Structure 1
Amino acid sequence: MTIPLSSPDITEAEIEAVTAVLRTSRLSLGPQMEAFEDAIAEYIDTPHAIAVSSGTAGLHLCIKALGIGEGDEVIVPSFTFIAAANALRYERALPVFVDIDADSLNMSPASIEQAITPKTRAILVVHTFGRPAEMAAIMDIANRHHLFVIEDACEAIGATYQGRKAGSFGDAAVFAFYPNKQITTGEGGMVVTRRPELAAQIRALRNQGRYDSADWLQHAELGYNYRLSEINCALGFAQLKRIEPILQQREKVARRYQQALADINELVLPSTEIPGIRISWFVYVVRLNSDYTEIDRDSIVTTLTGAGIGCARYFAPIHLQPSYAAWRNSAVLPVTEAQASRTIALPFFNRITEEDIAQVGNALRTALLQIQNR
C-alpha cells in the first residue's frame, strides 16, 4: 500500500526499552510488567491492572472470573470486532445482540433495556472507535437489573466520559495494544478493575491458575497461558509515557480529515465535538450518505485499495458472520445493518501527512465520480 490503513508509532525510546529487557535474565513476569500495570492503573484511575496476552484474552478472563457460563445471556453489540462475542462463547454463554445508535455507533441504551431477560447476567459495552458509550444510562440499567458491566475499551484508551476515563465505570474493563491501536505492545492487552477479588482471580487465571501466594507448581484452578512478556510490557510502558501527545496528534489528524473531506456531499463524517466526551481516535470512519443510494460501498473500497490506499469495512456485523449463522434470524438489528453497509475506515495513524490525507480525499472523489458516471 502507498498509504497503509494503520502504522505503529515507534521511537528510539521504545527500541531502547525493549533492547534493555533483552540484556536481562527476566523475560516474563518481571519488573516491566509490574511498571506497566501500575502505570495503566494510575492512568485509568483504577486500583488494579493485569497485563494479558491480548484484548481477547482479557475479555475471556473477565467473563470467566465473573462466573458467567453456559446458558447465561450477555448483551453485546453486533457492530464491533468479533472477539467480543467469541469470548462469551468460549464459556458457552450466549451473546444477545442489540442495535446501535445511528450517530455514535455505540449500543443503544433503549435496545439494551428491551433485551433483558431472566437469563441476562451482564452487559458487554464497547466504546466503538474510541468514542465512549452512554455510560450513565447503561450503568443505570445495569444497577436496576443487577447486571455485571464489562467495558470493552480496546479501542478507547484515554477516552473520557463526563470527566472519567473509559474503562473506569464497570466491574472490569479491557484495553488492547495491537499495532493498529493508539499505543502498542505488538500483541497484548490489559484488564482493569476496582474489585480486589476479581483482580486476584484474573491474575491467577492468566498464569495457569496459579495465585501469587502459591508455589510455582501449585494450581488452584483451571487457568490459561495469557501472560504478557517483559518485552511487550517494556514497549507498552514506553508508549504510555507519551500517550497524551499521541492522543493529541491523532485528534489533529481527525480534524485534518474533517477539513479535507468537508466538501464531499456523498460522505457523512464522524462527529468531533461531543459535549462531555473526549474521543480517543482509534480509526477515522466515514459513511456513505444514505441519499446516494446508487453508490456501492464495496466498489469504493475496491477502487481505493487498487490505488494503493489502505481502507476497510469497519465493522462487518457479527450476527451476519458465517460463524454466527445460528444468530442470524434471531437478531433484528436494522440500524446496525444499515450503518455497517455504508462504513469505510480510511488510513489513520499518528504520522500520516497532510499530503497523504489530500491524496486519500482526491482518491475518494475520483472513485465516487467514476461510480456515479457508470
Structure 2
Amino acid sequence: MKVNLSGPDITQKEIDLVVEVLKSKYLSIGPKIQEFEQKVTEYFQVKHAIGVNSGTSGLHLLVKALGITEGDEVITTPFSFVASTNCFLFEKAKPVFVDIDENTMNIDINKIEEKITKKTKAILVVDVFGQPVNMEEVNKIANKNNLKVIEDSCEAIGSENKGIKAGTLGDCGVFAFYPNKQITTGEGGMILTNSDEIANLCRSLRSQGRAVTGTWLHHDRLGYNYRMNELQAALGVVQMERLDEIIEKRQRVANLYNEKLEGVTGVTVPYIDSETTRMSWFVYVVRLDSNIGRNSVLKYLTNNGIGCKPYFTPIHLQPYMKEMFGFKENDFPITERISNSTIALPFHNNLTIDEIDYVVKKLKEGIKLYKY
C-alpha cells in the first residue's frame, strides 16, 4: 500500500470556479481576489484581509509594514519552518530565539521577557501544527514592552484559543495555502489585520509599491510582485466556504489516529492544550521515546510506501543560520530533543481507515525493530 503524507481536497465546485475564471477576462487583479478577501474578513471578523502569493510573502510584507529593519531584533521560536525567521532576515533584522514549551511545542511564553533588549522590535509567534498560542499572555508582554506582535498562523487557520480565532489577536497575522495546508490555493497566503496603516502598506507593497489609489504605473514606494492571482483566489473562495467541513474531516482523521495509537509503547500522540477550544489540524506529529531509532523508523515507513517526515529541523541548526549567527547544538535543548523524536504521519482530509491501520501497523513494526 502507498499512503501519501498529504494531499489537497478539491471538489468539482473548485474546478468549476477555476474554469469560470479561465473563461473570464481577469486572470489577475480581478474580482475573485476581492471575493476571497471578503470571505476571510467575514469569517474571522477582522477589518482587513490581503491576499498574497505565499505565507512567506505575507510575513515579509508585515515585517516591512512594521518598520523592522537592520539592527532590530525579533523574538521568535526555533521550532518552525524556516520562513518564520527568513521573513525578517530579508530585512537584516536579527532572530532572538526562545526555546519551546515541552507539551504544545509553541514558544515558551514564560521565557520571552528575559530575551527582550533595547533592540527588540517585535515578537513573532508561530501556531505550530495548528496549536494556537495563548495570545492574551503574549500581548501582555508586548504591551508592557511596547513591542509589535506578528502571529504566524500559517498552520492554524480556524484554530481557536479560548474561543478566539488564531491569526486575529496580534497586530497582524498570516495564513498560508500550500497544498498540504488545511485549505489550499496551490500557492498563496493571506494577511489579517485591523490596522488601516498596515493594510494599506501591505496592499501597496504586494503590487510593486503601487499607490493605494490604484493609479496605473504610479508607485509610491519600492515594492514586490507578491500578488495572488485570480485562479488561486477562485480556489480560495470555495475552499474558504468549506473550511468548517475540512476542519471536521481532519479532526476525524486525528481521532482515528489517537484511538489506534492509544497504549502503543514508545509513542506520544499530539498534545492539545486545555485552552485550545478548537484545533484545526495541519499535520499529525507523534513523538518517539529516546530509546527508539527515530531515523531508522522513518526509513522503515518510507520503504513500506508511507509518506512521513521529521517535523521540524530546528531553524538555528540550519547550515546558513549557524554560519550567520554562530548557533550550535544544545543552544535550545528542548527544541532539539523534540525535533529528534518527531514523525509526521500521513495526514489529509480523506485518509481511509484501511490506510490509517496500515500506517499504525508499520509504525509498530518499525518501533519493535529499532528499539534499543
Indicate how the Cα distance of structure 1 residues 371 and 312 shifts in structure 2: closer, same or farther if over 3 A, else same.
same
* Aligned twin of 1:366: 365
The CA deviation at 1:211 is 2.0
What do residues 57-101 of structure 1 show as CA deviations (whole Å, max 9, x unaligned)? Answer: 000000001000001000110000000111111000111111000
Q: Displaced runs of 4+ in structure 1, greater than 3 A? A: none
* Aligned twin of 2:347: 348
Q: Is the 8 A contact 2:161 2:275 kept in 1?
A: no
Distance in 2 (CA, whole Å) between partners of 1:299 and 1:94 is: 36
Indicate how the Cα distance of structure 1 residues 99 and 273 shifts in structure 2: closer, same or farther if over 3 A, else same.
closer
* Aligned twin of 1:65: 65
CA RMSD of aligned residues (A): 1.3
The CA deviation at 1:45 is 1.3
The CA deviation at 1:212 is 2.9
What do residues 315-362 of structure 1 show as CA deviations (whole Å, max 9, x unaligned)? Answer: 000000011012414982111111111010000000000111100000
* Aligned twin of 2:303: 306
The alignment partner of 2:296 has SS state of: helix
- Matched AA of 2:358: Q
* Aligned twin of 1:315: 312
Distance in 2 (CA, whole Å) between partners of 1:301 and 1:332 is: 25
The CA deviation at 1:370 is 1.2
Q: Is the 8 A contact 2:104 2:272 kept in 1?
A: no
- TM-score, normalized by length of structure 1? 0.97
The alignment partner of 1:300 has SS state of: helix
The alignment partner of 2:359 has SS state of: helix
Within a 5 Å distance, the mapping from 1:278-289 to structure 2 comes to 278-289=278-289
- Matched AA of 1:322: P
Distance in 1 (CA, whole Å) between partners of 2:371 and 2:149 is: 45
The CA deviation at 1:274 is 2.5
The alignment partner of 1:129 has SS state of: helix
- Matched AA of 2:304: A
**2:335 is equivalent to residue 336 of structure 1:** yes
- Matched AA of 1:138: V
The CA deviation at 1:272 is 4.3
Give 5+ residue unaligned stretches, structure 1.
none
* Aligned twin of 2:15: 15
The CA deviation at 1:135 is 1.2
* Aligned twin of 1:85: 85
Distance in 2 (CA, whole Å) between partners of 1:96 and 1:335 is: 16
The alignment partner of 2:112 has SS state of: helix
Q: Is the 8 A contact 1:97 1:331 kept in 2?
A: no
Q: Is the 8 A contact 1:98 1:331 kept in 2?
A: no
Indicate how the Cα distance of structure 1 residues 40 and 321 shifts in structure 2: closer, same or farther if over 3 A, else same.
same
Give 5+ residue unaligned stretches, structure 2.
none
Within a 5 Å distance, the mapping from 1:207-246 to structure 2 comes to 207-246=207-246
| Identity in percent | 48
The alignment partner of 1:372 has SS state of: coil
Distance in 1 (CA, whole Å) between partners of 2:277 and 2:98 is: 23
Q: Is the 8 A contact 1:75 1:120 kept in 2?
A: yes
- TM-score, normalized by length of structure 2? 0.97
Q: Is the 8 A contact 1:45 1:165 kept in 2?
A: no
- Matched AA of 2:147: L
Q: Is the 8 A contact 1:201 1:211 kept in 2?
A: no
